[in-house]
Structure 1
């Protein structure tokens, strides 16, 4: 039976707003995002500990579909479809077992709140539990969700036999749905609030390729004294909302010549100056559908104190998405930064943790459905850089490249695993954004951080190495914290001697060559580790042995100062921490039984270390 549309005052106000050609929600929401590239489908939402409420606005007077997908496609998606006809709202919870019309779910877990039509749009408001305990529904997780949508110009005649929406009226978008939206601190006014815009200088976007990464270098404007950056927000040129996919601003190492100010080129190109390829620490990030980012009221990102390690040069990377290969795009989008001479209590800074960004930092075999690398921020490195000071972590950005599928950062204190810093079990390279933590985390001297990145390389035939190119890989977390310490990088390299022995019975390497050369056994003598790794069949046993040997026994510290010099711990060897008390997973509301081993697999104990070495020696 059709459900009557609830014409309450808020909907009437929304109807008035639509007459003003604005997409205005019927209620107060904490989050919103465009789901398509042209602004025809807009989503608003809010949530609490148990329930999430969505409101979809679609530019159609026909039916509207919205869903949660495992991969951006339709199969195995949790979907609702609704429309408004003759003053009645029709709405059903469905499930797509294949590409085709979704079946009506036997258990209707989505609750319709209201539906309406304006002259141009259909609006559906509905809610559901975060976890409905229905196997035909997908859980709303804390990581990246692939949201899908579809719409048709006409209303269906019945609840089955829906007319096909067509290719042009469907799509998907990756969104961090359960993101934290803290209250924005009060901004300074008058002369105490300064603004600077990093803008691309009329970049002619290439039309021979659908994806372009454009890099533009900027010298930070000179300041007469120290200031604090307190907020940033995107500037997207009108009409280019679908073109500009994401923008990142990296801090460069000191020593970039001022002549590079205004230099622009396609990123990751051989023609990029060497100094600019070393701009790798993300300090500002934004992705399509997102808004600005405000630092907490007690902290600001320091500018103007060059001697103290503040950036004097930055590199802005703009990702252009031009799927229609248009040759008319000339873009001047960028980022707007707000800063003030009124200093806050703490200097905020970025700590880059994970694996070293080089061919020595990661070795990822091909043909793997799941292979995990591990990067360690050791207690020794942190003590070197912090001088015994604790820090407070308030935001972060997990980062990998195209093969990355799962990322997380673990926090260990005295052998006891603390709550996760962050975790994304459905990572999408195309969603790069700084994310607030639910609660700030104190990180003390003696604590350790472990960055774990899982990759799928089934479609690759050669080993993937760490590096700057998107075809290479990274496993990083850019951690926003305060107060600033003299430690911008706390990372590690794997131990290839263990890894090569574990997978391939290589017993001796010569590190005087790049990449290292095999000395023994004789069957591999003279070959590079690249050649040996690429020649393997990579059975599941080989993959597991290589992962344990290279990443889960020991590591090499990478421990840098802001000046580019190294702390004493740099390049020393460290032992993987033993986790005596792994983090217990949250118990699902649907099942009182929890899999305690969910988080236990990642780091091996010394007992396992010994057993593994014995196995290798047999």
Structure 2
């Protein structure tokens, strides 16, 4: 077994400093297993330092044995373009690795746990870069209260009650970006039963969630109570034993909206029956979990200029929104999912209390749209009324020549954190965006500003500039796109102005009901920055040296199973040969 490294999309090079140790290898009719280990930090500048955030393991295999070269090195033949001979997997190698086993994967199905599939019915996926399909599903009346224990998403993901699991048809996996399950709710004061309004939609195939044909009733009653958000590239989420999510009703059947985000830019003929499998039980957990979305609102107010090595966007959850929306005793965060699209590179969820920044809740330095997992926190983080949350997302647009605006399509961008917490409170959505007049103060005022801010799907393409006269009647979208974003100094001025200026808060509870606040506009909080604890001296003070006190705890161990004799990864490559 040898340690190689990659310099480009080409054959890896054998590393002069060998830092991998083969522990075991075996082969049988099922395949080949290799167990090896290396230090988290090898003090080799060619090696990747493994930290707490996401690591992407790249793997590939070929049909031919490596050919001996000079100095005990080997030449590797190209593995080919077949997708079955190569791949990548996002994973966190530090900390406790959790490999959940769902009830339907047990040899004997666990007593007292039921499952229900929220799935599509022969949906033809339309040609689109991003197509959002929505379907109404009826869940039967229950005789007593139940909790979800787990759920599975696109690549299998778990959600509240007991658990939930994403069910995929084979051809759909690479075309599904995200799955969301909403519970429909009609307020009692409306005077209508859910059955009278929603039953007629149950047997229909569904609609484009944002198309003109989408029924207004569903937009009003089935969009604001989110039960599960499941992202691409993650196997599933299973709630801890003390937490569950309510499902169904004992008084009547309940209705849910299944929303799946498809990617089909080439217009392939796809018929899909994917969905979410929910595992639930009548044995209630101690606490009921809630779901909170924070960060930046999905709107063109999120404006990311081109040709930037890094550009930061900030989304707030204000102290007053937290004060009015959380339970008086506060709540505990147990998991966080970070969400961006293709140009997102890093994200961190900051926690502010009484003018001081506490330890970040989550820091991800390798953000990737294809790996939307939940960070199960090693220690639950308590947030209390009056705290503030700031989500900072960093984007890289060096290969982009046009401005990228915020939105739901994959060609647009997102800066969101999905927070799973307990006990449940009424707060479900706490996001912000730069206040429009402040956003435009660097440039020029526009008309219908506050109407645009309150729009659920605003667009700058329809907003005309009113002054100065030289810009009058130009569309705001066009004006923003043509600014001198190639000037790094100008771009950073704008970034800081949007961060430190006023922010329009979106603070809502169950059913999309607004939570009252004294003002919808808040300033960026002033706080003392967090200071991390002092670090131990760098043991790599001299290239190639290692600490004499290093133990197995500073190493990781991986077991790979393959049905071939060769593996190599282009970055920090590991070559197996025997």
TM-score normalised by the chain length of structure 1: 0.71
> In structure 1, which of residues 307, 311, 314 is the aligned counterpart of residue 257 of structure 2?
314
The residue number in structure 1 matching 2:457 is none
The residue number in structure 2 matching 1:293 is 237
TM-superposed deviation, 1:533: 0.9
Q: Does 1:537 align with 2:484?
A: yes
For 1:507-518, what aligned pairs fall within 5 Å after superposition? 510-511=448-449, 514=452, 515=460, 516-518=463-465
1:565/1:131 Cα in 2 relative to 1: closer, same or farther (>3 Å)?
A: same
Q: Which runs of 5+ in 2 are unaligned?
A: 153-164, 187-196, 453-459, 542-578
TM-superposed deviation, 1:378: 1.0
> In structure 1, which of residues 177, 183, 186 is the aligned counterpart of residue 92 of structure 2?
177
The residue number in structure 1 matching 2:179 is 248
Most deviating of 263-272 and 462-471: 263-272
1:190/1:175 Cα in 2 relative to 1: closer, same or farther (>3 Å)?
A: closer
For 1:54-203, what aligned pairs fall within 5 Å after superposition? 91-119=1-29, 121-158=31-68, 159-168=73-82, 170-178=85-93, 181=97, 192-203=112-123
CA distance in 1, matches of 2:364, 2:346: 6
Aligned length in residues: 495
The residue number in structure 2 matching 1:364 is 304
Deviations 1:46-90 (A, max 9, x none): xxxxxxxxxxxxxxxxxxxxxxxxxxxxxxxxxxxxxxxxxxxxx
TM-superposed deviation, 1:175: 0.8
Contact 2:118 2:258 in 1 (8 A): no
TM-superposed deviation, 1:212: 6.5
Most deviating of 275-284 and 152-161: 275-284
The residue number in structure 2 matching 1:337 is 278
TM-superposed deviation, 1:581: 3.3
CA distance in 2, matches of 1:464, 1:557: 22
1:473/1:243 Cα in 2 relative to 1: closer, same or farther (>3 Å)?
A: closer
The residue number in structure 2 matching 1:561 is 509
CA distance in 2, matches of 1:311, 1:357: 29
Q: Does 1:547 align with 2:462?
A: no
1:288/1:526 Cα in 2 relative to 1: closer, same or farther (>3 Å)?
A: closer
Q: Tell me the SS of whatever aligns to 2:480.
A: helix
Contact 1:366 1:463 in 2 (8 A): yes
> In structure 2, which of residues 323, 327, 340 is the aligned counterpart of residue 400 of structure 1?
340
CA distance in 1, matches of 2:30, 2:240: 40
Contact 1:224 1:304 in 2 (8 A): no
For 1:308-457, what aligned pairs fall within 5 Å after superposition? 312-317=255-260, 319=262, 330-360=271-301, 362-457=302-397
Q: Tell me the SS of whatever aligns to 2:53.
A: coil
Deviations 1:351-385 (A, max 9, x none): 1111122334x222233332211111111101111
Contact 1:401 1:470 in 2 (8 A): yes
- RMSD over equivalenced CA pairs, Å: 3.6
The residue number in structure 1 matching 2:572 is none
CA distance in 2, matches of 1:190, 1:114: 35
Deviations 1:147-183 (A, max 9, x none): 2112121222313332222222653324132375459
Contact 1:181 1:436 in 2 (8 A): no
Contact 2:128 2:263 in 1 (8 A): no
TM-superposed deviation, 1:404: 1.9
TM-superposed deviation, 1:588: 7.2
The residue number in structure 2 matching 1:474 is 414
Q: Tell me the SS of whatever aligns to 2:66.
A: coil
Contact 1:495 1:554 in 2 (8 A): yes
Higher relative contact order (CA 8 A, sep 6+): 2
Q: Tell me the SS of whatever aligns to 1:217.
A: strand
Q: Does 1:264 align with 2:206?
A: yes
Deviations 1:377-420 (A, max 9, x none): 11110111125231000011111223322222111122222222
1:342/1:163 Cα in 2 relative to 1: closer, same or farther (>3 Å)?
A: closer
Contact 2:79 2:86 in 1 (8 A): no
The residue number in structure 1 matching 2:554 is none
Most deviating of 442-451 and 395-404: 395-404
Deviations 1:242-276 (A, max 9, x none): 55755522325635734333543466555544565
CA distance in 1, matches of 2:110, 2:80: 52
Q: Tell me the SS of whatever aligns to 2:470.
A: helix
Contact 2:121 2:273 in 1 (8 A): yes
TM-score normalised by the chain length of structure 2: 0.75
Q: Which runs of 5+ in 1 are unaligned?
A: 1-90, 594-618
CA distance in 2, matches of 1:339, 1:529: 49
> In structure 2, which of residues 417, 426, 433 is the aligned counterpart of residue 486 of structure 1?
426
CA distance in 2, matches of 1:526, 1:331: 45
1:241/1:524 Cα in 2 relative to 1: closer, same or farther (>3 Å)?
A: closer
CA distance in 1, matches of 2:247, 2:53: 32
TM-superposed deviation, 1:469: 2.0
1:242/1:354 Cα in 2 relative to 1: closer, same or farther (>3 Å)?
A: closer
